[in-house]
């Protein structure tokens, strides 16, 4: 995780309804919506597959995308989606600053 990464947490019930969320204001709403929908879809697919095969769900599932990473956790009857967002423009600026400092 980069030093300039932003964090968001969304807790969903079994039906996918949001129970609680704490999102950094620097994370665009479109990214939050995409990450939550993707995370819940991945949870449903894995839950379906493991249920059919008679296995238990993994403790966590992590998916790395180009701008963000999501971590999906099952806690009781809740689904927790952690979102780690790195703004590509800020990351590029940070890398340039680091390169200048090291020169």
pLDDT digits (tens, 9 = 90+) for 14-51: 899 999 999 999 999 999 999 999 999 999 999 999 99
Assigned domain for 74 exists: yes
Q: What is the pLDDT of residues 6-23, one digit of tens each?
A: 999 999 998 999 999 999
Give SS3 for 53: helix
Residue 76 belongs to some domain of the structure: yes
What's 83's domain CATH number? 3.30.450.30
What are 55's two structure tokens? 């296995």
Q: How many domains does the chain have?
A: 1
* Residue 1 domain-assigned (yes or no): no
Q: Phi, psi (5° rounding) for residue 90?
A: -70, -35
- The structure's pTM equals 0.79
Phi, psi dihedral angles at 57 (to 5 degrees): -70, 150
Residue 63 near residue 38, CB atoms below 8 Å: yes
| Model confidence band, residue 68 (pLDDT cutoffs 50, 70, 90) | very high
Of residues 24 and 94, more confidently modeled: 24
> Which domain, by its residues, includes 24?
6-102
């Amino acid at each position: 995780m980069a030093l300039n990464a932003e964090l968001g947490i969304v807790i969903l019930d079994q039906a996918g309804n949001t129970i609680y969320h704490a999102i950094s204001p620097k994370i665009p709403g479109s990214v939050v919506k995409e990450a939550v929908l993707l995370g819940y879809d991945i949870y449903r697919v894995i839950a379906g597959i493991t249920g059919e095969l008679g296995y238990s769900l993994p403790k966590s599932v992590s998916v790395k995308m180009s701008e963000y990473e999501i971590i999906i956790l099952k806690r009781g009857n809740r689904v927790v989606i952690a979102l780690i967002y790195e703004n590509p423009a800020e990351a590029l600026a940070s890398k340039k600053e680091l390169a200048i400092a090291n020169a």
